[in-house]
Amino acid sequence: MAEPGDIVTIKTQEESIQGMLMPEEKDFAVIKLDTGYNIGIAKKRIKEIQVLHKKKDKKPVTLTIAPQQQLPTISILHTGGTIASKVDYETGGVIARFTPEEITTMFPELKEIANINSRLVSNMWSQDLRFSHYNTLIKEIEKEIKKDVQGIIITHGTDTLHYTSAALAFTVQNSPIPIILVGSQRSSDRGSTDGALNLLCAARFITQTSFAGIAVCMHENTGDENCTILPATKCRKMHTSRRDAFQPINTIPWARVIYPEKKIEFLRTDYQRKHTNKPNITFFKEDLKIAILKQHTNMNSEQYEFYENYDGLVIETTGLGNLPTSEIDEHTKEHSKIFKTLQKLAKKMPVVLAPQTIYGMLNLNVYENQRKLQEIGILGHLSDTTPETTFIKLAWLLSNHDKEETKELMRKNIAGEISERIEQNTFLWHK
């Protein structure tokens, strides 16, 4: 009987595939190839599974690492298992490791940089996060700040990492220490994993600089030497799988960490420095209903009406801020209905535009239809805030302010989310 961890040959009608048997899925047998990649084979196709080598039982090894007085202390809070997990090649399973001893064993270079406090906050896919999870994380961050640590690293799934970085930028303002989010685009069982460098660069940045506040540390390029420190409210995941998927939007990174040289190269100097004052901690209302609606061609009023019982709406608009509200011929009568629906929504809730282009700034004074949108209360004029950060900002404002205050504050730069002007070299920024 084949078990996870066994080296097997799976035979189908068409081929024979050899590898290590992994924990099975519902309708598939999964094996890990010598390349490190997993492959799923539909069970209905399998003719035979032949065991070549049985797995070996392995006793866990527990190490005790004494703190070094000359080194600073960093806290690592884990919200997901990818960066802090590894494949046990004798069992076939992915094992999450969160204790300081386990983390230091996985990333031994950490011992040269700092003493590590490491613990699990939650272990979940980042796409499953809700406002309640943000609140839990904020409370844990508050605890760590009170411990007088040098900084905090938060491990996080990459899919919504930029949502969480923005959430922390608004809720943990005036942080006296750096709080750096890191993720891993490639799983730890692949030779091309990026998690280790991201984590180690974040630790070096914390211990070697005076930077304070929220930021993201991810690969600068597809190589394995440098990471960039990205602004929490102005970065975004721009590729599904590349190691340099996270890029600054309408700005440049705070700094570059050149890991082989143990060197920090600041690219901007307008950052907050470490201090001893208390942070301003706020939270999210967990029952808020906020949505992002992506504008496209051939829309109808019902698509906007769907959100009439929400607390706020972000519309990912095209170009400088255009919506389909002009009735120009017999085929566009629906657009008059859309305008009336938007007018009704804007009276009930904040309706905010964000650039679908990601890069660039909205300008609602260019066309007549845009000026009419402003007249009915649609927000977003002169904003270059990404749709994701706009969503988080709107949710945070409605959690801590009334509707009219929220509308006013959406226009103001609170956590670096709005640029006074956009420099030319920030478009598709390239080192």
Q: In angstroms, rounded to a whole number, what is the distance separating the alpha carbons of residues 323 and 329?
A: 16
- Give domain status of residue 38, yes or no: yes
| CB crowding 358-394: b at 16 or more within 10 Å, else e | bbebbebeeeebbebbeebebbbbebbbbbbbbbbbb
* pTM score: 0.86
| Span 400-407, average pLDDT | 97
For residues 235 and 125, state if they share a domain. yes
76: how many CB neighbours lie within 10 A of its CB?
A: 28
Q: In angstroms, rounded to a whole number, what is the distance separating the alpha carbons of residues 164 and 6?
A: 39
Q: Where are the alpha helices (DSSP H) in 12-73?
A: none
Q: What's the CATH code of the domain at 11?
A: 2.30.30.520
158 is catalytic: yes
Q: What single letter denotes the amino acid at residue 22?
A: M
For residues 157 and 258, state if they share a domain. yes
First vs last Cα of the chain: how many Å apart? Answer: 54
**Two tokens at 34?**
């010598």
State pLDDT tens for residues 142-177: 999 999 899 999 999 899 999 999 999 999 999 999
73 is catalytic: no
Domain-terminating residue out of 233, 262, 281 = 281
Boundaries of domain holding 275 = 73-281
For residues 180 and 294, state if they share a domain. no
For residues 106 and 29, state if they share a domain. no
- Give domain status of residue 419, yes or no: no
For residues 89 and 198, state if they share a domain. yes
Indicate the average pLDDT of the chain.
90
Q: What's the CATH code of the domain at 249?
A: 3.40.50.1170
Q: What single letter denotes the amino acid at residue 418?
A: I
Give the model's pLDDT for residue 96.
54
Exactly one of 234, 237, 393, 407 is catalytic; name it.
237
**Two tokens at 381?**
């004029």
240: how many CB neighbours lie within 10 A of its CB?
A: 9
Domain count, the chain: 3
12 is catalytic: no
Exactly one of 159, 282, 344, 357 is catalytic; name it.
159
- Give domain status of residue 270, yes or no: yes
For residues 100 and 151, state if they share a domain. yes
357 is catalytic: no
Q: What's the CATH code of the domain at 377?
A: 3.40.50.40
- Give domain status of residue 61, yes or no: no
Give the model's pLDDT for residue 23.
77
- Give domain status of residue 353, yes or no: yes
- Give domain status of residue 19, yes or no: yes
* Contacts with 372 (C-beta within 8 Å, 6 or more apart), sequence order: 325, 339
Assign 207 to helix, strand or coil: helix
Exactly one of 79, 91, 158, 317 is catalytic; name it.
158
- Give domain status of residue 68, yes or no: no
- Give domain status of residue 313, yes or no: yes
State pLDDT tens for residues 48-92: 999 998 877 655 444 556 778 889 999 999 887 556 555 555 455
